[in-house]
Amino acid sequence: MKKALLLVDLQNDFCLNGALAVHDGDAVIDIANQAMQLFHQRGWPIIATLDWHPANHKSFATNSGAQPGEIGTLNGLTQVWWPIHCVQNTSGASLHPRLEQQYISKHIYKGQDPEIDSYSAFFDNGKRSATELNQWLDSENIQHLTILGLATDYCVKFTVLDALELGYQADVIADGCRGVNLAADDSEKAFHEMASKGAKIVQLHDL
Ligand code: VGL
Ligand code: ZN
Q: What is the pLDDT of residues 135-165, one digit of tens each?
A: 999 999 999 999 999 999 999 999 999 999 9
Q: Is the peptide bond before 151 cis (omega within 30 degrees of 0)?
A: yes
Residue 201 is which amino acid?
I
* Residues making up the chain, counted from first to last: 207
Contact of 4 with 140, CB cutoff 8 Å: yes
Q: What is the CATH number of domain 3-52+93-206?
A: 3.40.50.850
Q: Which residues does residue 202 pair with via DSSP β-bridges, in sequence order?
A: 173
CA of residue 1 to ligand 1 center, whole Å: 30
Local confidence band at 177 (pLDDT 50, 70, 90 cut-offs): very high
Ligand nearest to the CA of 154: 1
Cα–Cα distance for residue pair 154/175, rounded to 1 Å:
16
**pLDDT 10s digits, 18-55:** 999 999 999 999 999 999 999 999 999 999 999 999 99
Which residue's CA is the nearest one to ligand 1's atom 3?
82
Cα–Cα distance for residue pair 207/202, rounded to 1 Å:
8
CA-wise closest residue to 28 among 175, 152, 143, 180: 175
The pTM assigned to this predicted structure is 0.98
Where exactly are the structural domains of the chain? 3-52+93-206
Cα–Cα distance for residue pair 90/195, rounded to 1 Å:
35
Cα–Cα distance for residue pair 158/172, rounded to 1 Å:
12
Q: Which atom of ligand 1 is nearest to the CA of 152?
A: 7
CA of residue 32 to ligand 1 center, whole Å: 18
> Collapsing DSSP states into helix, strand and coil, what is residue 122?
coil
Local confidence band at 123 (pLDDT 50, 70, 90 cut-offs): very high
Catalytic residues: 9, 110, 155
